[in-house]
Amino acid sequence: MSIFERLAAWIPGQWEKVIITAVLIGLAFLVSNLWARYLARMEISAEKRRMQLVWVRNVIWFVAMLIIVSVWASTIAGFALSLAAVAGAILIVSKELVMCIHGYFYATLVQPYKIGDVIEFNQLRGRVVDIDMFATTLVELDKAGQRTGKVAEFPNGLLLTHPLVNASPNGAFALHAIRIPMPERFSHDLDGIEAAALAAADHATAAWQEEAMTHFRKASEENFIALPSGKTKVSWDFSDPEHLVLVIRVACPIEQRAKVEQAVFRDTWRALSPEPPTLSANRLVGRQCTCFSQGSCPARAAPP
């Protein structure tokens, strides 16, 4: 028997419904893509593009699924009655297992993260290294972005009930916020602190700053989302009045966030801190102290 004859034997009398379903799915994909291309040529803001894209896409797929369900209504009713008891028993006995499988389908279809992304989930932070049917595996990272040497896993079922933060959703470049606590003795010169921080950040990101800005601009146009420009920005966190925190936002490659953070901190702190005395000055001070202690300093013996 040919493949088509076998399919006809498996689905007796249902070929018309199968063809209608395939045509509806194809039309839904086609109309969604045509609408996205049409929006890309319109002179409107990214927020409005994204809003219209999501709204129209949801309407298209809702109508298509409604028609498909109505076409298969009689078949679905008979099949559902025969499997209702078995499905109920499976859900009761293995609820967690079913949730893990549903979470895997969610991660596959929606793609909130992929291999190589850095995510924060349920008090875990790390780089995704594996996604299987039941769990997601992370290489744990500390707050500075360094590997801790630990591997963490969480069941995919938790994706359905817990929020997730993807720290690298925009491809090769990411926005990284560097937080530097400021001592009270520096609070009188906020402009000088901001200037030192901007100079340090621009120096650390000079090699890719233009490329990063082009990357974020292109990502905004393709995804219909108003993303930040990627330009270095300085702000203050004054939620605790007794402890001011300088926040420096930079755009950098994902794998270099820790290196950039350390460089910006060192250069900023070096610019704000007073210069240490030179070696010659230290020697002069030591010589004067020795002379005074011995009472034989020439400068002290000379008349005024």
Instruction: Name 253's bridge partners.
Output: 173
Q: Could you tell me if 123 and 179 lie in one domain?
A: no
Per-residue confidence at 288, pLDDT binned at 50, 70, 90? very low
Cβ atoms of 294 and 287 closer than 8 Å: no
More confident residue, 107 or 89: 107
More confident residue, 40 or 286: 40
Q: Could you tell me if 214 and 155 lie in one domain?
A: no
State the pTM of this model. 0.57
Out of 4-13, 41-50, 266-275, give the one with best mean pLDDT: 266-275
Q: Could you tell me if 51 and 74 lie in one domain?
A: yes
User: Where would I find the beta strands (DSSP E) of the chain?
Assistant: 118-121, 124-131, 135-141, 147-155, 164-166, 173-182, 233-237, 244-253
pLDDT given for residue 85 in this prediction: 57
Domain membership of residue 282 (yes or no) is no
Q: Could you tell me if 177 and 161 lie in one domain?
A: no
Q: Which of 227, 225, 223, 244 is closest to 235 using CA atoms?
A: 244
Please say if the pLDDT value at position 256 is more than 60. Answer: yes
Domain membership of residue 44 (yes or no) is yes
Please say if the pLDDT value at position 299 is more than 50. Answer: no
Report the share of the chain in percent with pLDDT over 70.
Answer: 76
pLDDT given for residue 188 in this prediction: 82
Count of other CB atoms within 10 angstroms of residue 268: 24
Q: Could you tell me if 23 and 80 lie in one domain?
A: yes
CATH number at residue 160: 2.30.30.60
Per-residue confidence at 264, pLDDT binned at 50, 70, 90? very high
**Tally of structural domains, the chain:** 3
Q: Could you tell me if 194 and 121 lie in one domain?
A: no
pLDDT given for residue 296 in this prediction: 47
The whole domain housing 185 covers 173-272
